[in-house]
Structure 1
Amino acid sequence: MRKIFILFAVVLIGFASCTDSGQSMTITVTNPLALERVGEMVEVPMSDVVAKLKLADTAQIVVLDVDGQQVPYQVTYDEKVVFPATVEANGTAVYTIQPGTPAPFDVVACGKYYPERLDDVAWENDLGGFRAYGPALQARGERGFGYDLFTKYNTTEPILESLYAEELNPEKRAKIAELKKTDPEAASELQKAISYHIDHGYGMDCYAVGPTLGAGVAALMAGDTIIYPYCYRAQEILDNGPLRFTVKLEFNPLVVRRDSNVVETRVISLDAGSYLNKTIVSYTNLKEAMPVTTGLVLREPDGATVADAANGYITYVDPTTDRSGANGKIFVGAAFPAQVKEAKVVLFSEMEKKERGGADGHVLAISEYEPGSEYTYYWGSAWDKAAIKTPDAWNKYMAEYAQKLRTPLAVVY
């Protein structure tokens, strides 16, 4: 597994004060819920750490638990120290930040831009992987509106880079093209051997997106009509582990009602230990309030869904691309820290079903977007071949996740 050493620079305050061995910062984390919080990320502004510890520009820090053991942490692009905290139900936990040399930490959350695969941006943590489609795919005329996902099991290490490397291996692809002329069966076997659509023991891509919202894309609505966003036009990876991956995506201008040049921006982050991505969506040049929806594509008209506006989450049990059941079931969902106006299942007409590549509809959670604001929500997935085995377990996870979003950990220092 890759490891990363945490290094950072801070404003010079004075080298002598940096070396004060007794300087430390106590972080008290309180859990107001009757639910245990395990590995939930706590954020402390780096500026507060610098001020409290009187750090010099060459200083390093460590984060310690109550037993004095080092806790993995990361300094993010927006200058926050993030680390996983575990707090008992209705309990508190104490952590310490102090000058010191951090241990190397395993890289858990990470991602990459893949221009060689039609400009995919793909990322993962210990529990699963995801991707957003890019301009090269759009240029081919493919309608990749939604998020795709990769299942993962039997490992907590990053796997996507190796999956892409095999899938795109130029020598093996050339060999497949050659074999198709003389030995189609051998060509098929080699194709299966390198494909990330086949489970080789660590996970796979067995989720169908098509021209839909996929696994949780947000979109503006004109009345009841979804304004489908196309592929991103520009990407910037802001954080790349060890504990958090963050990417900023910017989209092509749209005409929305009477507003022209409306540009959508998304900031997506995935933390170690979470099944869900945090996504912050904003629209520039939008002049009036509009409905915004988050959707999960349905591949069955009567599939197992939950649409709970009051408690702030939606879920669906996806049958995967193999309807025989060989690939198991994928649980998808979205959770919302703010009040949801409406959550419901919307089925396509026969005409729209053809337009949407045979999909049956969406589970939608609808809110209101005010110009100049940010729309924040969480979306993601689990696989029944990994830790979460049943729809009930997934729905419990999602319901509790929504509770935690609406009742965050309290951090005092």
Structure 2
Amino acid sequence: MKKIFFLLAVALMAFASCADSKQAMTVTVTNPLALERTGEMVEVPMSDVVAKLQLADTAQIIVLDADGQQVPYQVTYDEKVIFPATVKANGTATYTIQPGTPEPFNVIACGKYYPERLDDVAWENDLVGFRAYGPALQARNERGFGYDIFTKYNTTEPVLESMYAEELNKEKRAKIAELKKTDPKAAAELGRAISYHIDHGYGMDCYAVGPTLGGGTAALMAGDTIIYPYCYRTQEILDNGPLRFTVKLEFNPLVVRGDSNVVETRVISLDAGSYLNKAVISYTNLKEAMPVVTGLVLREPDGAVVADAANGYITYVDPTTDRKGGNGKIFVGAAFPAQVKDAKTVLFSETEKKERGGADGHVLAVSEYEPGSEYTYYWGSAWDKAAIKTADVWNKYMAEYAQKLRAPLSVAY
């Protein structure tokens, strides 16, 4: 009798194991490069997960690593399950997706629309922060054409919302206005205390954009003339964490080479653990191919620049708004998954320098845009007060990032 019970128990365990295997999806991630890939986001279509696991609409899933530990994940606006993978050089790693109740995950990549600050859209992850300027700023004739950068250190948590709250605090702003009449020194001290242009121990805005391409904006070119985009017209936040922030920006119509009503659309996403955003650019109603550039504004005519067309990246060491060095240096860069035609430094004439708010020029990567296509590239920054301390380390990061773009992780299941 005991033997019968034992055999029955074994059979039930085998049945349960078989049932469990039908409710699990093994994902194998392969790294073709001789570089370790750490925390790099991989994507699996949610439709494949649902089909494989035979999930009901309300079912929850979990993602497990090879040790059976839960891995944070997100289902994106375009119905992909994304999670960070770590794969050794020329190696593979396996992950499992199965039904289950996920542990709570910290929100790492997130952002917000700020109508109270002239329609800024600002976003961040654990390493960096950025913003794009909106229609209210353009209505005031302020010329902020490119992306702005927020530096970040001493924290991996979101800080931009609290920075904006202090910067825009109505009561404190009213107090500053009062103090200016009676105690200008106290007014200045309070202004510094709430300003995000001052480092309060977790980062700041010390990057100058002005009427330039700023920290990595793309623009069409007619001959040698950049057709500068202005502030976005509409914004839509598509993903808001925990691992990816995505925003869709649409711009006002342009006249380009006689083509009227040319409308630029950008889809920008920032993943946890990355210094770089992904940008997907398209132009509707453009009739013929023309050059498109990605630019980094130069604040020194002889600044430290790398313009490497063959290996697909450009970088610059920005002196920040404090030329005395108190705010350190900001490393900016862009990387390209497809071959670019050229990468170079272009300095402004004295006349254009005045038109561009005193900037000295751009480092540009030049590609060709075909009507009806998408132009994809990656742009971002780091700060020498945080983890990346030198230009050499930043250039190595950018060179390896470009390699990874051109040899992506492969995902099989």
Equivalent in the alignment of 2:95: 95
In 2, the alpha carbon distance for the partners of 1:395 and 1:22 equals 46
Equivalent in the alignment of 1:312: 312
In 1, the alpha carbon distance for the partners of 2:397 and 2:60 equals 36
CA-to-aligned-CA distance 1:215-258 (integer Å, 9 cap, x gap): 00000000110000000000000000000000000000000011
In 2, the alpha carbon distance for the partners of 1:89 and 1:229 equals 40
How far 1:23 sits from its partner (Å)? 1.0
Equivalent in the alignment of 1:23: 23
How far 1:54 sits from its partner (Å)? 0.3
- Confirm whether residue 248 of structure 1 aligns to residue 248 of structure 2: yes
Letter paired with 1:93: A
In 1, the alpha carbon distance for the partners of 2:57 and 2:282 equals 35
Letter paired with 1:80: K
Letter paired with 1:206: C
Equivalent in the alignment of 1:299: 299
In 1, the alpha carbon distance for the partners of 2:249 and 2:276 equals 18
Equivalent in the alignment of 2:150: 150
In 2, the alpha carbon distance for the partners of 1:393 and 1:272 equals 20
In 1, the alpha carbon distance for the partners of 2:232 and 2:243 equals 25
- Confirm whether residue 381 of structure 1 aligns to residue 381 of structure 2: yes
How far 1:57 sits from its partner (Å)? 1.4
Letter paired with 1:44: V
Counterpart secondary structure, 1:155: coil
In 1, the alpha carbon distance for the partners of 2:135 and 2:87 equals 43
In 1, the alpha carbon distance for the partners of 2:214 and 2:67 equals 44
In 1, the alpha carbon distance for the partners of 2:76 and 2:263 equals 25
In 1, the alpha carbon distance for the partners of 2:193 and 2:73 equals 37
In 2, the alpha carbon distance for the partners of 1:122 and 1:86 equals 28
In 2, the alpha carbon distance for the partners of 1:281 and 1:143 equals 21
How far 1:106 sits from its partner (Å)? 0.3
In 2, the alpha carbon distance for the partners of 1:156 and 1:107 equals 10
CA-to-aligned-CA distance 1:323-352 (integer Å, 9 cap, x gap): 110100000000000000000000000000
Mapping 1:173-184, distance limit 5 Å: 173-184=173-184
Counterpart secondary structure, 1:292: strand
How far 1:56 sits from its partner (Å)? 0.6
Equivalent in the alignment of 2:410: 410
Equivalent in the alignment of 2:57: 57
Q: Which is greater in Rg? A: 2
In 1, the alpha carbon distance for the partners of 2:260 and 2:77 equals 31
In 2, the alpha carbon distance for the partners of 1:145 and 1:58 equals 44
Letter paired with 2:204: M
- Confirm whether residue 126 of structure 1 aligns to residue 126 of structure 2: yes
- Cα pair 2:176 2:190 within 8 Å, conserved: yes
- Cα pair 2:31 2:92 within 8 Å, conserved: yes
The share of aligned pairs that are identical, in percent, is: 89
In 2, the alpha carbon distance for the partners of 1:153 and 1:127 equals 7
Equivalent in the alignment of 1:327: 327
In 1, the alpha carbon distance for the partners of 2:59 and 2:383 equals 42
Equivalent in the alignment of 1:199: 199
Equivalent in the alignment of 1:239: 239
Letter paired with 2:136: A
In 2, the alpha carbon distance for the partners of 1:312 and 1:364 equals 12
Counterpart secondary structure, 1:47: helix
How far 1:120 sits from its partner (Å)? 0.1
In 2, the alpha carbon distance for the partners of 1:323 and 1:169 equals 29
Counterpart secondary structure, 1:402: helix
Letter paired with 2:96: T
How far 1:20 sits from its partner (Å)? 6.2
In 1, the alpha carbon distance for the partners of 2:142 and 2:335 equals 29
In 2, the alpha carbon distance for the partners of 1:345 and 1:22 equals 56
- Cα pair 2:112 2:123 within 8 Å, conserved: yes
Equivalent in the alignment of 1:164: 164
Equivalent in the alignment of 1:80: 80
How far 1:58 sits from its partner (Å)? 1.4
How far 1:95 sits from its partner (Å)? 0.2
- Cα pair 2:22 2:53 within 8 Å, conserved: no
Equivalent in the alignment of 2:219: 219
Equivalent in the alignment of 1:391: 391
How far 1:60 sits from its partner (Å)? 0.2
CA-to-aligned-CA distance 1:14-59 (integer Å, 9 cap, x gap): xxxxx96851000000000000000000000000000000001110
Equivalent in the alignment of 1:346: 346
Mapping 1:273-292, distance limit 5 Å: 273-292=273-292
The number of residue pairs the alignment matches comes to 395
Counterpart secondary structure, 1:171: helix
In 2, the alpha carbon distance for the partners of 1:361 and 1:64 equals 48
Letter paired with 1:99: P
Letter paired with 2:291: P
Equivalent in the alignment of 1:264: 264
Structure 1: stretches of 5+ with no match in the other structure: 1-18
- Cα pair 2:209 2:215 within 8 Å, conserved: yes
- Cα pair 2:105 2:242 within 8 Å, conserved: yes
CA-to-aligned-CA distance 1:156-184 (integer Å, 9 cap, x gap): 00000000000000000000000001100
In 2, the alpha carbon distance for the partners of 1:88 and 1:21 equals 26
In 2, the alpha carbon distance for the partners of 1:114 and 1:21 equals 47
CA-to-aligned-CA distance 1:283-308 (integer Å, 9 cap, x gap): 00000000000000000000000000
- Cα pair 2:335 2:401 within 8 Å, conserved: yes
CA-to-aligned-CA distance 1:160-210 (integer Å, 9 cap, x gap): 000000000000000000000110000000000000000000000000001
Letter paired with 2:70: Q
Equivalent in the alignment of 2:14: none
